[in-house]
Chains A and B, each alone.
Chain A
Amino acid sequence: MTRILIIEDEADIRRYLRATLTAQDYEVLEAATAKEGMQKLTLNRPDLVLLDLGLPDQDGQDLIRSLREWSQTPVIVLSAREQETDKVEALENGADDYLTKPFAPGELLARIKVALRHAAQAGTEAPKVFERDGLCVDQAARRVTLQGEDLRLTPIEYKLLTTLTDHAGKVLTHLQLLKAVWGRHTTEQSHYLRIHVQHLREKLNDDPLSPRFIFTEPGIGYRFRP
């Protein structure tokens, strides 16, 4: 059974999360402080963490950083603030996704599913063929087709597309994408990223106003359709 750890100081929210998650047959662990959360992380090895950023004893961002030093357990951040910078920071520290309070139960469950699937794939040899809605990305053959027709992508577009499809459903920040496509020490600006995304969208016949594949998260980054 999948085990989820909730690190949240508000008992009422913990109760609500517990109700929602147990109804879906998840096993739920609870922690009210960062310290307690860290203990349960090491002792109980949960499969996923729901983390509130505003903890009384430690900044949630620090907790993500120290967790990522030794574990790849997926982390979904729960944030009360509308500040996009908090989310971007959390994602770049290694969080897998975020939800802004208040959020609907359905949304929460969908995000959990995506995160768990990614974690499962990361453990095994990732399937090299990605298929979604007529789009097929075969990384072994370096071949991309749309409705069966070959797409001619530039190396950058290809790298961009595979980075997105490898993390389909997960938000990738501008910086994460830049680093993945242009390398660790890139000095490129998000401006270039946008131009390449635009070109990629044109080739995928994906209208940014009603996207099928690439979704924009304004102020944060991009998310490929899960």
Chain B
Amino acid sequence: MTADQRPDPDKLLALVSKDRGDGAPDTPRRGRLKIFFGANAGVGKTYAMLSEARRLFAEGRDVVIGVVEHHGRPETLALIDGLPLLPLREVSHRDIRLTEFDIDLALERRPHLILIDEYAHTNAPGSRHPKRWQDVEELLAAGIDVYTTLNVQHLESLNDVVARLTGVWVRETVPDAAFDAADEIALIDLSPDELLKRLAEGKVYVAEGAQTRAADNFFKKANLGRLREIALRRTAERIDAQNDALSAAMGQAESATGDKILVLVGPDALSARLIRHTKRMADRARAAWFALYLHTDRHEALPDKARRRVEHNLRLAEKLGARVVRLNAGRAASAVLTYARQNGFTRLVLGHSPQPWWRALMGGRSLSQKLISQGAGLEITTLSADSAEDKAEADGRTVAQALRPLPYLMAVAATALVTALGLPFRDVVDPDSFIMLYMTAVVAVAARYGIGPAVFTSVLSVLTFNWFYVEPYYSLTFDRVGYAVTFVVMLITSLIVGSLTARLSLHARLARKGEVETRLLYDISRQLGGARDAADIGQVIERHLQTVFEVELGLWYEGQQVAGKAEHDPKELAAVQWVAQNRQMAGRDTDTLPTAQGLYLPVSAEQSVIGVMCLTPTETTRQFSGAELLVFETVATLIAGALQRTRQTALAEATRVESENEKLRNVLLASLSHDLKTPLTVMNGAVGSLLKMRKKLPREAVDELTALWSHLARLQKFVGNLLRMAAITSGQLHLSFEPYLIQEVAGAALNRIEAMRGDRQIRTLISGTLPMVRIDGALIEQVLINLLENAIAHTAEDGQITLSFETDADRVRVRVSDNGPGLRPGEEDRIFDKFYTYGQQISDRQTESSGLGLAICKAIVEAHGGLIYAKTNPLKDGVGGGASFIFTLPVVTSGA
């Protein structure tokens, strides 16, 4: 095994976690999908699904029936009985009452496993998703396991094959991706004989609407055999695909043959067949495949219906798993070949439509012919349009344009005009000169209305010229033989000039349109630079989109609507919510909530949705084109950027204000400290100097001075605590963490309280080797000083204080315990509150606690990520008692 064939652990892991049904730890577990797959109705898929569900239910799994079509069959009904049923939703559509699966109820109920019959079912209009498989997708995403059933003819890529075989077109299809995404496929197989027997016994449900002829056709033995074969093969292909995924992860080549297939998609129905054909080809060859649409001049000239057809075809390809490519190109054949060769395609699939006789006569070759002659090295497959339907759609363009009478009326009018202009001068000027006049009309029509009317004008011009200007007048005959040549030359010239002009003006229009879009995006991004908040952004976007695309804009940001008219329709609001949750487009022209008025796009930044953009066309019947969608998506990106920027600006402003405030607080605190400490320092000095002269002073004065001295000391301590507390509560406490040995800090604290200890004994106890702690040394020293002072204040003159240290894996625990009177019950928690003084029962010996010292300890310890608490010591043989104050500090982790 060479180096690059070594298994990729990430890919393997991804496979394993897909198997287990759980993804990365931060994403919720995705539900598992099991499809009961059959070749035909009546093979017993629902029966098998229910049987398995019953077994699981008996095992205690939380199983719920979402929807099951029992068609009144007693065997099925018996299986349903006893399983919990989710109520169906009633929908009335055009006075018909329908029942539908209720996805909201299912999401709310959140069972472990839900049964959803008929994967390919089409939901009633007005449902959240048009298709049931999309409901299933949402359930899976929510982490719910799903069992469902599917017949082979409902599979998108096999849809046409089955239709050709049986003559029945099924409109309800499931994209192959939704089938291949299943975690498990159970093929429910029944031999055709057995099935026919069941059919004869009336055990197979045949849809009421289905024509008997079709049903008869369907249930022919030969057909059943073929369908069975198709289902078996499709299941086998899926197993292959799974093996491929495994071998790809194991480092083997993804495609067995190294093939890469490109299918050319156009605006015709043949393209849909091409796409399905290519999908099957790609599956068999295990090759990657791409669908290419050539965005040539012709595209803009296409009628709306054909353009929709293009979008439809491209969506179909995407659904079947193709990558979609749109290529702007002038010359179709060379563009396709260049693209195919540059991107390593080996096969090309395209449709072949027969050339009109006149083009063949003029030596024109169809795209397929050109590609075949130039595409050396490529395997080219062409499919012919065989059915009448294919052809009708392929010719759709000419039909559609013929239906627009205005350009032709204008062509007639232009011809009439130049004729009328020239007529008075007919006898004065040489008739040949008028040819130029007609040419002007052709150019004008070509520029305005395109190639068709231009051709029409050319022919009409020749005829009118002959009628009015060539003797004999008012007849289509002519005297001079030379005019035959003149007419032909005139016709050819005007055709060439007309077609060139038409193409030029089309190019100009396209360029203008492209420029308008570029300009639009440029303007938007420039003006967004000046937007200060979300509402500003909304206004900028609204102004631009309204004029160019004739749409109303709605914008939601941070749960609020910031632009557009206030929306109250629950369906529209549901779309907003859905988009925000699912990070996907929804609304009109999409698969989710397609009956909504607006198109909803997520505005996402850094992989999360920060807003939702809604576009409602002013003309309600309008459909958005793929190109427009691209522009909208770009606009959404611009909005996301702008919103991010405004958010950061707001944040920066808040930070600036905060730092100004902090500076102010700092100055305030400094001056407060200065003002309080200056007189204290002076008094301290004065009393100290006086006490030095104690021998010269009367006894009473010395006593007073001593009292003053001790009160001064208390006042100093109190002021110190007060200032420290002020610093903490105003957020001025900036911790500078450094590794310390706690003994060092404790040593410094003991040194500081040495003077006030009196006759009290302070014992120190260390158990084990203490690791370093990550602390602000000065602040923890203060904690220790406060706790020791507190202990000194609450013990008798000959009291005992113990300072002990111990450690476990990630903490160092410090304990200051005394043998004073201890805490009163219930005091343990309140003791760390500000201005709470404990031990009131010994108030005769005025405590020195200001009620701030312990609160400061708590604030400091908690800022270190530690805990502080107090408790009364247990009595041991009648001795002991007193209080313990314990705090913990996090240990320095390695490398710190």
By a beta-carbon cutoff of 8 Å, the part of chain A in contact with chain B is 10, 12-13, 15-17, 19-20, 23, 54, 80-82, 84-85, 101-105, 174, 190-191, 194, 198, 207-211, 215-220
Distance A12 CA – B689 CA, assembled complex (angstroms) = 14
A105 touches B689 (CB 8 A): yes
B747 touches A211 (CB 8 A): yes
Q: Distance in Å from the Cβ of B861 to the closest Cβ of chain A?
A: 15
Known: A13-B678, A81-B673. A218 touches B727 (CB 8 A): no
- Residues of A close to B689: CB separation below 8 A: 16, 19-20, 23, 105
Report the interface size for chain B: residues with CB under 8 A from the other chain. 45
Known: A81-B673, A82-B727, A84-B778. A216 touches B685 (CB 8 A): no
Distance A13 CA – B720 CA, assembled complex (angstroms) = 18
B678 touches A12 (CB 8 A): yes
> Which of A81, A210, A220 contacts B750 (CB under 8 A)?
A210
Known: A80-B677, A191-B739. A215 touches B751 (CB 8 A): yes
Q: 16 pairs across A/B with beta carbons < 8 Å?
A: A10-B682, A12-B678, A12-B682, A16-B685, A17-B685, A101-B678, A101-B680, A105-B685, A194-B772, A198-B741, A207-B747, A208-B743, A211-B747, A215-B748, A219-B778, A220-B778
A82 touches B686 (CB 8 A): no
A12 touches B744 (CB 8 A): no
Distance A13 CA – B684 CA, assembled complex (angstroms) = 10
Q: Is B246 an interface residue (CB 8 A)?
A: no
Known: A82-B720, A190-B739, A218-B748. A103 touches B764 (CB 8 A): no
- Residues of A close to B776: CB separation below 8 A: 219
- Residues of B close to A19: CB separation below 8 A: 685, 689
B740 touches A101 (CB 8 A): no
Distance A48 CA – B416 CA, assembled complex (angstroms) = 114
Q: Is B822 an interface residue (CB 8 A)?
A: no
- Residues of A close to B684: CB separation below 8 A: 102-104
Q: Distance in Å from the Cβ of B761 to the closest Cβ of chain A?
A: 13
B678 touches A20 (CB 8 A): no
B678 touches A216 (CB 8 A): no
Distance A218 CA – B746 CA, assembled complex (angstroms) = 9
Q: Distance in Å from the Cβ of A201 to the closest Cβ of chain B?
A: 9
In B750-787, which residues have CB < 8 Å from any A CB? 750-751, 764, 766, 772, 776-781
B674 touches A218 (CB 8 A): no
The 9 closest A-B pairs by CB, nearest first: A219-B778, A218-B777, A16-B685, A102-B681, A216-B744, A218-B781, A208-B743, A12-B682, A102-B680
Q: Is B745 an interface residue (CB 8 A)?
A: yes
> Which of B670, B716, B739 contacts A102 (CB under 8 A)?
B716
Known: A215-B748, A218-B744. A101 touches B677 (CB 8 A): yes
- Residues of A close to B678: CB separation below 8 A: 10, 12-13, 80, 101
- Residues of A close to B734: CB separation below 8 A: 85
In B330-349, which residues have CB < 8 Å from any A CB? none
Find the A residue at minimum CB distance from B781: A218
A85 touches B736 (CB 8 A): yes
A208 touches B744 (CB 8 A): yes
Q: Distance in Å from the Cβ of B671 to the closest Cβ of chain A?
A: 9
Distance A191 CA – B778 CA, assembled complex (angstroms) = 16
A194 touches B740 (CB 8 A): yes
Distance A13 CA – B724 CA, assembled complex (angstroms) = 23
Q: Mark B859-896, 1 if CB is under 8 A from A, else 0.
A: 00000000000000000000000000000000010001
> Which of B688, B720, B743, B777 contacts A209 (CB under 8 A)?
B743
- Residues of B close to A207: CB separation below 8 A: 743, 747
- Residues of A close to B686: CB separation below 8 A: 16
Distance A74 CA – B818 CA, assembled complex (angstroms) = 43
- Residues of B close to A220: CB separation below 8 A: 778
A102 touches B740 (CB 8 A): no
Distance A84 CA – B782 CA, assembled complex (angstroms) = 12
- Residues of B close to A54: CB separation below 8 A: 670, 674
Given contacts A194-B740, A215-B747, 18 further A-B contacts (CB under 8 A): A12-B678, A20-B688, A80-B674, A80-B677, A80-B678, A81-B670, A82-B673, A102-B677, A103-B681, A191-B738, A208-B741, A209-B743, A209-B746, A215-B748, A217-B748, A218-B744, A218-B778, A218-B781
